[in-house]
Structure 1
Amino acid sequence: MVDISRSWRRSRVLRITLIALGGALLMALAVLIFRWTVAISRQSADEQLRAALSKVLETNGERGLLEMAGVPVNDIFYGDSGVTLFQGGEASWNYSADELQNIAVYEKVNRSVVHITTIIGNTAGFLNMVPDQGMGSGVILSKTGYILTNTHVIEDAASLSVRLHDGTSVPARLVGMDQENDLAVIKIEPTEQMSLMPIVFGSSANVKVGQKVIAIGNPFGYDRTMTIGTISGLGRPVSDGKGQVIMGMLQTDAAINPGNSGGPLLNSKGEMIGINTSMYSVSSGAQGISFAIPIDTAIAAIPELISTGKVARGWIDIVPVQLNQSIASYAKLDVSAGILISQVTAKGKAEKAGLRGGTQRVKYGDEVIYLGGDIITGINGVDISTFEDMYSALMQTKPKDEVTITIDRKGEKKAVIVELVERTAENVALIVR
């Protein structure tokens, strides 16, 4: 009887224990299901909120989204490191983010800009006549006194002087010129008291149309004047007024006036992305289109200008014609893009390599060209459709370099290896557009 009672009690305890465990498991499962349901609800609510906020952002922009959240915003600045907001009423701030950025760029860069004065002619001229005087801008390249400017600022100058940001004037000498790209390097001899501030180079490779740019120079003699605009075009061919075309120019609507030439065109970080060089205007004011040489072009030229005084580049000794649909239709060609070889230089490198010029003499505008020659469609694997393509493909080459030129010869494709000659203003001027 005792054994039966003990067994019954143990069985009862076991049943109670199992029931308690089962209840605990059910409770835990219920809690989990509840939390899972809540999480799903929250996720759904978050997704709905995210979709609603995205719609507000798309419709009203960042400012509208922030103001909807109760954050009044006067200005927003977008930068590489994030977003800067200016909050509160107008009385609570002095400068917008854009203004602060402009101020910071000017304070960073203006001491790197110099005023260049040129004396044209002999100062001891006939009857002591006053010689012509010119002016322009330049940027400091190094603490040792090298300065970058435009060729047209300093060419034909009998003497040069440079005025620094603190008003100090010192004589300068010409180091080298790249007339093809309107670039020149001059040098001053800094004293121990001078504190030269070299410019910071950026890159022109990633410049975009619509990007804000800042120009600093000396228009009409007003030292280190700052103007602001945007990049309005890329890769522009611009005539220098002497029949030579400078390729790949940056186009901007920033005001550029006489005296700005040689000064820097800057990005929002204060890095130089171009060298201001010319202005095209329909009036005598600054309401026109301005141009700057891409800084990457200058960076490639500066070391050679300093070491040798010039830049030697490779070229194909031919008379090239920009092929177009009109010429292609008239000559019944299979291709309508590329560089037609009108003539090859007699006994030159191109002729020696086997390139052929034309034989059919025709009048093309004010020029005489020869049809029937080879058509260049590629250089070193790069497709060539325009003169700009040809110029770019040969930009980094040197005289005596060999390049593989793909040609179309009466419908047949050929590859020809050609030794390059030195590119000069004279042979570039032979291009027929």
Structure 2
Amino acid sequence: MKPTKLRPVLLVLVLLSGFYYLTTRVGSSGAASPILHNLLHPSEALHTASLKGPMGTFELTQAAAAPAYDTEELQNIAVYKKALPSVVNITSTTVQFDFFYGAVPSQGQGSGFLLDKQGHILTNAHVIEGGQRIEVTLSDKHKYKATVVQIDKGHDLALLLINAPNLVPATLSESTGLTVGQRVYAIGNPFGLSGTMTRGIISAIRSIRGPQNNPIDDAIQTDASVNPGNSGGPLLNSRGEVIGITTLIASNGADQSSGIGFAIPINTARAFIDDIAKYGRVRRPSLDISTIPIGPDIAEQIGLAADYGILIEKVLPGGAAERAGLRGGTQRAYQGNIPVMLGGDLIVGFDGQEIQSPQDLSAALVNHHAGDQVTVTIFRGRKKMDIRVTLNDAKDNPTGPVA
């Protein structure tokens, strides 16, 4: 058979294969069935409507019925319906005085979410900072006065309480094991627009500085659109479970979303809540040290025994590290234009867990409480040692240690 005679046969085979794939593979998922039906039966899917008036007649082609939601849309809707009843709007009112000493109320808005049926609400500390009257509006539009139970400025977290019936608490997930590319949703009150949901992915997991220059370790970076008013609201996974607390945006001076938002990991909030439940206040554990992260280049330059870890630059007087015998630096040097102290102990382990960065140490501390005894593995010169340390309460140190 000549090649020219084969072409019609091949074309028919390609068309039949494509039709088989669409009807058996794509169509079997259910998401494409409405599309296929409309393509195969266009006359059933459309009708024409005539509108007559002074301007003449308009012939409009309309769909016979609203199309069914596809799988992705159904997931978005399910997340929203599950999470929305738990999300609240927070209004913080501060009374200021004008030039003539007249009282001028000033309001700030943010978001939060319900933790339990008793009315506890988690939000950011900066949402309610300076507020003399705090009100919470639920998704059903009912408004309640809130009292402040506890604030942790170090982690930019606050716990509120309202007295309201029939509350729907959020479902908390884990923030360990989060992966870049994972789908996330943010629900909150951007620019006062309550009940707004946006969607994106986890763009990175990194340590940053919060709105009050507080360190946020393992912050969740996302491209989900977040704006002023989203602060304190939940960042959700695809099952509608809370994995973080939306906190700030990188805006380069513009007070709106730039596609880079950050959330406090929910495990940090869990430790905050756990402290309040056990002790009635926040007892953040601390080693009472300031440190320098170490990599292969720095380690080689200053002759360290390991090419990873964190070098103790300073131990706070009377702190946990000093009481345990850990040593800070004694030799002044410079990183760029910044003076640092070298010669201190190099921390490489914490209770059997390898420590490669300050973030590793912060993550390890989150799982402990002030008063816990831990084993810190160090290099002192070339000698490897295990030191027992009783963790201090960070609140006891007004100077504010780094770790």
- Into which bin does the TM-score normalised by the smaller protein fall? 0.7 to 0.9
Q: Specify the code of the residue in structure 2 equivalent to 1:68.
A: Y
The match for 2:21 is 68
- Tell me, in whole angstroms, the C-alpha distance in 1 between the residues paired with 2:103 and 2:75: 47
- Tell me, in whole angstroms, the C-alpha distance in 2 between the residues paired with 1:326 and 1:72: 54
The match for 1:89 is 37
1:238 aligns with 2:208: yes
- Kept in 1, the 8 Å contact 2:155–2:214? The answer is no
The match for 2:273 is 302
The match for 2:6 is none
- Tell me, in whole angstroms, the C-alpha distance in 2 between the residues paired with 1:305 and 1:125: 41
Q: Specify the code of the residue in structure 1 equivalent to 2:88.
A: V
Q: Specify the code of the residue in structure 2 equivalent to 1:130.
A: V
Q: Report the CA distance shift for 1:299/1:381 in structure 2 as closer, same or farther (over 3 A).
A: same
Q: CA deviation at 1:306?
A: 5.1
Q: CA deviation at 1:212?
A: 1.4
The one-character-per-residue Cα deviations of 1:279-330 (angstroms, maximum 9, x if unpaired) are 1134443232111122222223224335655321221122222223453343
The partner residue of 1:152 within 126, 129, 137 is 126
Q: CA deviation at 1:119?
A: 1.1
Secondary structure of residue in 1 paired with 2:366: coil
- Tell me, in whole angstroms, the C-alpha distance in 2 between the residues paired with 1:66 and 1:384: 57
1:115 aligns with 2:89: yes
The match for 2:4 is none
TM-score of the aligned structures, taking structure 1 as reference length:
0.75
Q: Which has the larger radius of gyration?
A: 1
Aligned residue runs from structure 1 range 44-63, under 5 A: none
1:267 aligns with 2:215: no
- Tell me, in whole angstroms, the C-alpha distance in 2 between the residues paired with 1:233 and 1:272: 17
- Kept in 1, the 8 Å contact 2:211–2:248? The answer is no
- Tell me, in whole angstroms, the C-alpha distance in 1 between the residues paired with 2:225 and 2:79: 17
- Kept in 2, the 8 Å contact 1:178–1:305? The answer is no
- Kept in 2, the 8 Å contact 1:233–1:251? The answer is yes
Between stretches 334-343 and 218-227, larger displacement belongs to 334-343
The match for 2:186 is 215
The match for 1:180 is 154
The one-character-per-residue Cα deviations of 1:14-40 (angstroms, maximum 9, x if unpaired) are xxxxxxxxxxxxxxxxxxxxxxxxxxx
User: How many residues are paired up?
Assistant: 357
- Tell me, in whole angstroms, the C-alpha distance in 1 between the residues paired with 2:177 and 2:379: 33
**Identity across matched positions, percent:** 41
Secondary structure of residue in 2 paired with 1:415: strand
Q: Report the CA distance shift for 1:264/1:242 in structure 2 as closer, same or farther (over 3 A).
A: closer
- Kept in 2, the 8 Å contact 1:181–1:246? The answer is yes
The match for 2:56 is none
Q: Specify the code of the residue in structure 1 equivalent to 2:333.
A: V
RMSD: 2.7
Q: Specify the code of the residue in structure 2 equivalent to 1:378.
A: G
- Tell me, in whole angstroms, the C-alpha distance in 2 between the residues paired with 1:238 and 1:349: 25
The one-character-per-residue Cα deviations of 1:103-151 (angstroms, maximum 9, x if unpaired) are 1221222121111000124689963331321110011122221111111
Q: Specify the code of the residue in structure 2 equivalent to 1:396.
A: N
Aligned residue runs from structure 1 range 1-400, under 5 A: 67-68=20-21, 70-71=23-24, 73=26, 76=29, 85-87=31-33, 88-90=36-38, 91=45, 93-121=67-95, 127-190=101-164, 194-234=165-205, 236-282=206-252, 283-305=254-276, 308-400=279-371
Q: CA deviation at 1:426?
A: 5.8
- Tell me, in whole angstroms, the C-alpha distance in 1 between the residues paired with 2:102 and 2:305: 66
The one-character-per-residue Cα deviations of 1:195-214 (angstroms, maximum 9, x if unpaired) are 32211222223432212111
Q: Specify the code of the residue in structure 2 equivalent to 1:89.
A: H
In terms of fraction of residues, the more helix-rich structure is: 1
TM-score of the aligned structures, taking structure 2 as reference length:
0.81
Q: CA deviation at 1:339?
A: 1.3
